[in-house]
Chains A and B, each alone.
Chain A
Amino acid sequence: MRFKGSEAYVSTDDLTLAVNAAITLERPLLVKGEPGTGKTMLAVEVAKALGFPLLEWHIKSTTKAQQGLYEYDAVSRLRDSQLGDPRVHEIRNYIVKGMLWQAFTSETPVVLLIDEIDKADIEFPNDLLRELDRMEFFVYETKELVKATQRPIVFITSNNEKELPDAFLRRCFFHYIRFPDKETMEKIVDVHFPGLKKSLLREALEVFFEVREAPGLKKKPSTSELLDWLKLLLAEDIPPDALRAKDRKTIIPPLHGALLKNEQDVHLFERLIFMSRQRS
């Protein structure tokens, strides 16, 4: 059971090692990195590559840890009691299983993704300590202990909006996805757009990394933005020449709206280009 990257996902050596170590030692893997570097996709691809089902738990600011375990649907039970439904006598019928429960009791091993854990309340990770460590929890309504038959492969992503508590971090493995360098980026683009003209790709990547280097950008364009941009370039059938200029710093790249998502960044970028034009 080893992950080696997949056809649709380029995994660097250290990422592959991190994933495999997490699988072997059965620890959750916490993945951080710039937005758009494929944190969520990692879990999807690992599940696909290993052939396991994927359970996704997307965290919102209102998500409570309990919702991942189970919820007691008291309202349905109350309604059923009004209608005289015989199901009402068994409380088990009104326990709605959460993602963790499903993952713990699954017949086959599963990949569980806890996406954007930093979005939740600051105490959220603390409420999951025992569940992620021992992979078990207690259901008070039915007085039963749910224990994982097979420990699921857990991926947790974070965008660093909140710091995570130490006790939680100690139980995880941690990998920081670095922004890919040019070589890796070429591989990534190749996976998504096989047969893209080499000349266009080269020019596009040059422009892309130059935009990223522009000082003071609020949101640097990331891999997913590059892929969107390439898609647009292809759709509009823009020739590689349009991206090439004698001094590349003096033209605004076509369709740059796909790369820069922030009004201030676009202004800043245009001003930088204007300044370098004046200088030349």
Chain B
Amino acid sequence: MLSGFFVKLKDHKIPVSIKEWLTLLEAMQKDVISPSIDEFYTLSRMILVKDEQNFDKFDRAFGEYFKGIESVAGVELDVPLEWLLKQAELNLSPEEKAMIEAMGGWEKLMETLKKRLEEQKARHQGGNKWIGTAGTSPFGAYGYNPEGVRIGQDGSRSRSAVKVWDAREYRNLDDSVELGTRNIKVALRRLRKFAREGAPEELDLDTTIDKTARNAGVLDLSMRPERHNAVKVLMFLDIGGSMDDHVKLAEELFSAAKTEFKHLEHFYFHNCLYDHVWKDNRRRHSERTWTFDIMHKYGHDYKLVFVGDATMSPYEILQPGGSIEYSNAEAGAVWLKRMLELYPRAVWLNPEPEEIWPYRQSIGILREIMGGRMYPTTIQGLERAMRALVK
């Protein structure tokens, strides 16, 4: 029953499981809803979709599968003209309004629209004349005709004119990021090292019993600090230039790391590490942190994580004065080696896909400096990196 719909959802990459599907069928059997397509839409969405980011995908799949069915349910296409006028005015920029003038004015456009509405009786998608979605006709939604009148994107949910799933109100929330922060966090967990530090506030039952027994049965309470993650991480993030393509990924990685580690310090650098880094990208020229200061400040049990695409000219790594931003007295390779000597636990995370690494000379050089500890920013790469850090 309805298994075509299930397949359709799968086609749209919505993560539905068979268990959820059976639940939906169970719900139908128990007559939770009255036989109306609106209620079926709400019910199936609440059971099958568990993330508002997927609502848009679901709306599209639903629209495709049930195309034509809504007319069976007794709903006719009925667009009040006043509402359209108001809506269209809201959506038009001055240039667009000028264009409408060019087409013969507002009245004419509306007249044509009215005529078409009368001609057209069914819902329509694509094409260049009929009112519908995703076409190039001047009437309809999601189209590319600049003279177009939008139908079906009203802010409030007008039940009479547009079906809810056609309104596709969750458009902005959809982002098909492959690495959700949850996955990153789970990968970062490998790095956890539990230790008891700080104020004693948890009852240590074993020690208490032991001490009480030694005390000939007189109670002797023993407290200990709570266990928490004691891993310390220094994170260096490449920023700007070729990294612009990877900003989103770097942000996710960073936000996941930020919540996962209690002791996390982060610094930014550009392309390669030199004698200074910075903490705030807006004040990168006024508020610098000297790399030497970092070496002196942070204990050597800190773990280093570099995040960068390592894509640059080899001179930027190997030559003094090779930096593209200023004249550096010592080569980037020298600084990196210095850091690596002090902090033996270090990895480099590279957002570029692993397959192309051999074709970029600078990646090869940095990989060699890192002693092979360069990993791609996939879940599997992150896990390998974290394993290398705890080794």
Contact = CB atoms under 8 A, between A and B. Distances in A.
Contact of A178 (B169, B182, B189): B169
Interface of B: 15, 17, 19-20, 23, 26-27, 30, 32-33, 39, 42-43, 46-47, 49-52, 55, 155-157, 169, 180-182, 185-186, 189, 203, 205, 208-209, 212, 217-219, 221
B178 to A, nearest CB: 14
Nearest to A22: B46
Nearest to A29: B46
Nearest to A19: B46
Interface string A60-88: 00000000000000110011001000000
Contacts of B39: 17
A172 interface: yes
B203 to A, nearest CB: 6
Contacts of A75: 203, 221
Interface stretch (A48-56, A159-167, A189-197, A240-248): A159-167
A174 B219 CA distance: 50
A122 B20 contact: no
A168 B17 CA distance: 12
Contact of A82 (B19, B20, B218): B218
A174 B50 contact: yes
Given A25-B26, A122-B182, A182-B156, A20 B46 contact: no
Contact of B50 (A13, A30, A183): A30
A274 interface: no
Contacts of A164: 50
A173 B42 contact: no
Contacts of B208: 78
B169 A183 contact: no
Nearest to A16: B42
Interface string A167-179: 0011011111010
B218 to A, nearest CB: 7
Contacts of B23: 25, 27
Contacts of B157: 181
Given A20-B32, A25-B32, A75-B221, 20 more contacts: A13-B42, A17-B32, A17-B39, A17-B46, A21-B33, A21-B43, A21-B46, A21-B47, A75-B203, A82-B217, A82-B218, A122-B185, A122-B186, A165-B182, A169-B51, A173-B47, A174-B47, A174-B49, A176-B55, A182-B156
Interface residues of A, number: 33
Contacts of A173: 46-47
Contact of B181 (A18, A163, A170): A163
A176 B20 CA distance: 17
B50 A172 contact: yes
Contacts of B43: 17, 21
Given A82-B219, A178-B169, A170 B27 contact: no
18 contacts: A17-B32, A17-B43, A18-B42, A18-B46, A21-B33, A21-B47, A24-B27, A25-B32, A75-B221, A78-B208, A78-B219, A163-B181, A164-B50, A165-B182, A166-B15, A170-B19, A173-B46, A176-B52
Considering residues A17, A18, A20, A162, which has the most beta carbons from chain B within 10 angstroms of its beta carbon?
A17
Contacts of A13: 42
B30 A24 contact: yes
Contact of A170 (B17, B182, B186, B219): B17
Identify the interface centre among A30, A174, A181: most chain B CB within 10 Å of its CB. Answer: A174
A176 B45 CA distance: 10
A270 interface: no
Contacts of B15: 166
B182 A175 contact: no
Contact of A163 (B46, B155, B182, B219): B182
A220 interface: no
A183 B88 CA distance: 21
The 3 A-B pairs at the shortest CB distance, nearest first, are namely A169-B50, A163-B182, A181-B156
A70 B55 CA distance: 37
Contacts of B27: 21, 24-25
A183 B155 CA distance: 11
A127 interface: no
A32 interface: yes
A14 interface: yes
Contact of A21 (B32, B180, B182): B32
Most buried by A among B26, B27, B209: B27
